[in-house]
Homo-oligomer: A and B are copies of this chain.
Amino acid sequence: MRIGVLGTGVVGQAVASRLAELGHDVVMGAREAGSERATEWAAGHRGRAGTFATAAGHGELVVNATSGVASLVALEAAGRDRLAGKVLLDLANPLDFSRGFPPCLAVVNTDSLGELIQRTFPEVRVVKALNMVNCEVMVHPEQVPGEHTTFMAGEDGAAKELVAALLRELGWRDIVDLGGISAARGMEMYVVFWVQTRMALGTSTFNVQLRRAG
């Protein structure tokens, strides 16, 4: 599949690398043309580098791996027209480090980044997923021992099926659909719990298994 990954940071690199390794046709999009990080990434992987706009134009599926507090600006730069009708896998968290560590959330409680993106870009098929684990676990769930669960939310059923298929390619087995995009709220608020658990455990290699009847 043609995939555009928006973001050249640790998360974007991990996701783009694994998707390219799985045989997808990946363009990593950076804020500016000629980004050193995107260019280096492309040289080391079977992928190409470009701007947010290049990546958005390329992808049948576009991954939002930008910093959550910069995502709306990045998506605006990617281009409303280029994104229209496409599936946007939003794995960003609106982490706000302005008060130090641990971070709080810039959008929270009565709204979420996922909802904000869907409202701002109504023609995009937003699926919130993978934001509840570290980026290494996102693409290598087998690093966490035992069975564990990943969650997703979005308005568009076909878009969620596409994302679920991609999640299975990454190795995810237990995929729980939480419903419409408003469920992004809980998925993002969970991340504050995740950060505290990470501090207590001293590792990012963990996740939860949803235990329920049936």
Chain A residues with CB under 8 Å of chain B are 99, 104-105, 108-110, 144-149, 151, 153, 176-179, 182-183, 185-187, 189-190, 192-197, 199-201, 203, 205-213
Contacts and interface: CB of A to CB of B under 8 A. Distances in A.
A175 B2 CA distance: 44
Nearest to A208: B208
Contacts of A199: 178-179
Which of A193, A200, A207, A213 has the most C-beta atoms of chain B within 10 angstroms of its own C-beta?
A: A193
Nearest to A132: B193
Given A109-B108, A197-B176, A197-B186, A209 B212 contact: no
Q: How many copies are assembled?
A: 2
Contacts of A203: 212-213
A172 B14 CA distance: 37
A203 to B, nearest CB: 7
A114 B45 CA distance: 48
A200 B104 CA distance: 26
